[in-house]
Amino acid sequence: MSKKVLVLEDEANIRSFIVINLKRAGYETVEAGTGQEALDQLRGNPDVNVALLDVMLPDMDGFEVCRRIRAGDNHIGIIMLTARTQEMDKVTGLMTGADDYVTKPFSPAELTARIDALCRRTTGEPAAAADPGEISCPPFLLNTRNRTLEKNGQRVKLTQVEYSIVKLFMDNIGKALAREEILDAVWGKDYFGEVKIVDVNIRRLRIKIEDDPTNPTYITTVWGYGYKWGF
Ligand code: CA
C-alpha cells in the first residue's frame, strides 16, 4: 500500500528536494506552500498518512497548522521541520500535537527513516485473535481494537503515539519503565531522535488524562529513570 505524505514548505527549492526524495523512496506526495494550502490539501486528501510541517511560513506558523490539523484529526502522523537554532521549537511543536521533529539541514535518509517509523506507528498492528479487545484500569478503559481511551466513560482524544504510550503502561501496570525502554517500544529501535521526545509526549499525555497534570497520579515519574503507571 502506498503511503501519502503532505509536504508543507514555503521555500520551493527545499520543497522539491523533499518531494523528489520521497517519491524516490516510494511515497506519494501532496504539496503546499502556505498553511492555508496545507489545510485545504488535507481536506481534499483525507488519506494522507504523514504531514511534514515547516515552522516558518508566510501566513501562519507551522505550530498553528499543527494545532488546526489536530483539532480535527488525531490519526495522521505529524513531523515538524525545525531549524537548528530554534531549540525551543521542538518542545512547542510536540506540545501542539506533533509526533516528531526533524532538524534542518537533514539528509533524505534521515527524513524517510522518520516517516517510515511514524507510518508504522500510526498504522498500528491489528489486534490478535485472542486479544480481549479491552484493558480496564479504572477510571480508564482502553479499547485495543479501535485504539481509543475512555476516562469515566468519556472519550479522551489521543494521537496514535499517545495511544501507544498508554497501551505500553497498561500492559505494564506498576512497573517502572526506563525512558529508553519507552522510546524503543513506541518509536522503534531504529529511531535515532532524542530520548527527550518521551518526556514531552508524557507531558502532553498528562494534560489529557490526569486530574491535575501538575500533580500526576496515573503516570508517575521515577526520578532518574523513567515513568510508571500508578504508584
Ligand atoms: Ca520556511
Question: If you measure from the C-alpha of residue 48 to the centroid of ligand 1, how many angstroms do you get, rounded to a whole number?
Answer: 21
Burial of 229 (0-12, 13-18, 19+ CB in 10 A): buried
Amino acid 146: pLDDT:
85
Amino acid 133: pLDDT:
84
Amino acid 195: pLDDT:
86
Question: If you measure from the C-alpha of residue 203 to the centroid of ligand 1, how many angstroms do you get, rounded to a whole number?
Answer: 28
Final residue belonging to a domain, choices 90, 123, 156: 123
Question: If you measure from the C-alpha of residue 58 to the centroid of ligand 1, how many angstroms do you get, rounded to a whole number?
Answer: 8
**What CATH number is given to the structural domain containing 152?**
1.10.10.10
Amino acid 138: pLDDT:
87
Amino acid 74: pLDDT:
77
Q: Does residue 129 lie within any of the structural domains?
A: no
Q: Does residue 189 lie within any of the structural domains?
A: yes
Q: Which residues of the chain have pLDDT under 70?
A: 1, 84-90, 122-132, 231
Give the domain extent around 205.
134-229
Amino acid 123: pLDDT:
62
Final residue belonging to a domain, choices 123, 146, 163: 123
Instruction: Identify whether residues 119 and 140 lie together within a single domain.
Output: no
Question: If you measure from the C-alpha of residue 33 to the centroid of ligand 1, how many angstroms do you get, rounded to a whole number?
Answer: 9
**What CATH number is given to the structural domain containing 82?**
3.40.50.2300
Q: Does residue 49 lie within any of the structural domains?
A: yes
Instruction: Identify whether residues 52 and 105 lie together within a single domain.
Output: yes
Instruction: Identify whether residues 162 and 70 lie together within a single domain.
Output: no
Instruction: Identify whether residues 77 and 27 lie together within a single domain.
Output: yes
Question: If you measure from the C-alpha of residue 27 to the centroid of ligand 1, how many angstroms do you get, rounded to a whole number?
Answer: 22
Q: Does residue 111 lie within any of the structural domains?
A: yes
Question: If you measure from the C-alpha of residue 176 to the centroid of ligand 1, how many angstroms do you get, rounded to a whole number?
Answer: 41
Q: Does residue 202 lie within any of the structural domains?
A: yes
DSSP string, the chain: ---EEEEE-SSHHHHHHHHHHHHHTT-EEEEESSHHHHHHHHHH-TT--EEEEES--SSS-HHHHHHHHHHH-SSSEEEEEEETT-HHHHHHHHHTT-SEEEEES--HHHHHHHHHHHHHHHH-PPPPTT--SEEEETTEEEETTTTEEEETTEEE---HHHHHHHHHHHHTTT--EEHHHHIIIII-TT--S-THHHHHHHHHHHHHH-SSTTS-SSEEEETTTEEEE--
* Whole-structure pTM value: 0.68
- Structurally, the chain folds into a number of domains equal to 2
Q: What are the beta bridge partners of residue 221?
A: 227
Q: Does residue 128 lie within any of the structural domains?
A: no
